[in-house]
């Protein structure tokens, strides 16, 4: 059973592919906001995919602030913490940080699905 306060973290080393230039979201070689958001979503998604839960899910909402830039080569960690479970809806606090501290934070919502049924509805 999924409970509140469960945490999961994921880390990367920022590469050229993670920059604002690569994401076309800016003109500087710094960690892109879309890349940070993707890492935050990955932390939440992977929390739900852990062996003890093995839930498929889709992201439905994200509200994030990117507070500080970092450069290529920086290790960035994103952490997702379950704050509420209401049926198939799961809410998270998400945070990203590097060795200097927090670089972004916010909230994220995912909906637990049956992947096959979900995909069939889209056909």
CATH for 7-118 is 3.10.129.10
Q: Rounded CA gap, 56 and 19, in Å?
A: 29
pLDDT tens per residue, range 26-76:
999 999 999 999 999 999 999 999 999 999 999 999 999 999 999 999 999
24 secondary structure, DSSP code: T
The alpha carbon dihedral of 18, 21, 24, 26 has a sign of positive
The SS3 of residue 109 is strand
Contact 110, 90 (CB under 8 A): yes
Contact 119, 63 (CB under 8 A): no
Total-model pTM: 0.96
Q: Rounded CA gap, 17 and 27, in Å?
A: 13
> Where along the chain do its domains lie?
7-118
């Amino acid at each position: 059973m999924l409970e509140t306060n469960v945490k999961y973290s994921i880390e990367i080393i920022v590469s050229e592919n993670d920059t604002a230039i690569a994401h076309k979201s800016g003109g500087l070689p710094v960690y892109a906001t879309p890349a940070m958001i993707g890492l935050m979503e990955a932390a939440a998604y992977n929390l739900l995919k852990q062996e003890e839960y093995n839930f498929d899910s889709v992201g439905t909402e994200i509200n994030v602030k990117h507070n500080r830039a970092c450069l290529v080569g920086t290790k960035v960690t994103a952490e997702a913490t379950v704050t509420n479970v209401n049926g198939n809806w799961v809410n998270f606090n998400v945070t990203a940080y590097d060795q200097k501290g927090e670089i972004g934070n916010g909230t994220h919502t995912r909906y637990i699905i049956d992947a096959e049924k979900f995909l069939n509805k889209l056909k």
